[in-house]
Amino acid sequence: MVKKNTCVFISGKGTNLRNLILKSRDYNFPINIRLVITNNPSSMGINYAKINSIPFKIIKSNNRIFEHLIMNELNKYKIDLICLAGYMRIIPKKFFTLFRKKIINIHPSLLPKYKGLNTFSRVLHNKEKKTGCTVHFVNSKLDSGNKIIQKFFYIKPGDNETNLKYKTQKMEYLAFPEAIIRIFR
């Protein structure tokens, strides 16, 4: 199998990155992670790139030419797929015309509900019965591209933001790899 060259964009802990790195060791998993890009020099996720000898690049989004800096890196590693895994910056419209391949994102809610930030507090405030995560294609509107996969669970009495996040992330570690398999099937 010829694996797709993938770049993961992160800003924080990088636990989804860690999970994708583990999955990509499987011969049958359709991607290899060739590059990690972050806007945040203190992102803990950078350590997973270092430990696994994956090249990483810190590119701050206040840099006037940051789309071009990113494109240079993507071209250098012949990237076919971008996975946004907790990347806390909006992808500028211009970027979609520069990078014509697939870009996917993982979001901690059942889209189209609860786009944007603070999903868990809003879910609890609205007394939702269930929540979960969505993997979707990225377009120029926030958290709005076509869905690839969604996973949910029922909220229990006493659930709070911390354990909703924990349960959602456990689902993310299943959903992101499944979505990747689905798009390259």
Annotated catalytic residues are: 107
* Region of residue 36 (left: phi > 0; alpha: psi -120 to 50; beta: else): beta
16 is a contact residue toward ligand GRF (CB under 6 A): yes
- Compute, in degrees rounded to 10, the torsion defined by CA atoms 112, 114, 120, 122: -140
CA separation, residue 42 to residues 17, 36, 108, 165 (Å): 15, 14, 22, 21
Three-class secondary structure of residue 35 per DSSP: strand
Q: Are 16 and 170 in contact (CB under 8 A)?
A: no
Angle at 87 between CA 85 and CA 92, to 5 degrees: 125
106 is a contact residue toward ligand GRF (CB under 6 A): yes
Q: Which is nearer to ligand GRF, 63 or 118 (CB)?
A: 118
- Rounded Cα distance between 185 and 181, Å, is 6
- Applying CB under 6 A, among 12, 32, 122, 184 the residue interacting with ligand GRF is 12
The interface with ligand GRF within residues 75-94 (CB under 6 A) comprises 85-86
Q: Which is nearer to ligand GRF, 95 or 176 (CB)?
A: 176
The interface with ligand GRF within residues 28-57 (CB under 6 A) comprises 45
- Applying CB under 6 A, among 7, 8, 14, 20 the residue interacting with ligand GRF is 14
The interface with ligand GRF within residues 122-181 (CB under 6 A) comprises 133, 169, 172
The interface region with ligand GRF, picked from 34-42, 66-74, 102-110, 144-152 by CB under 6 A, is 102-110
Q: Which is nearer to ligand GRF, 30 or 45 (CB)?
A: 45
Give the footprint of ligand GRF on this chain (CB under 6 A).
10, 12-16, 45, 85-86, 106-108, 133, 169, 172
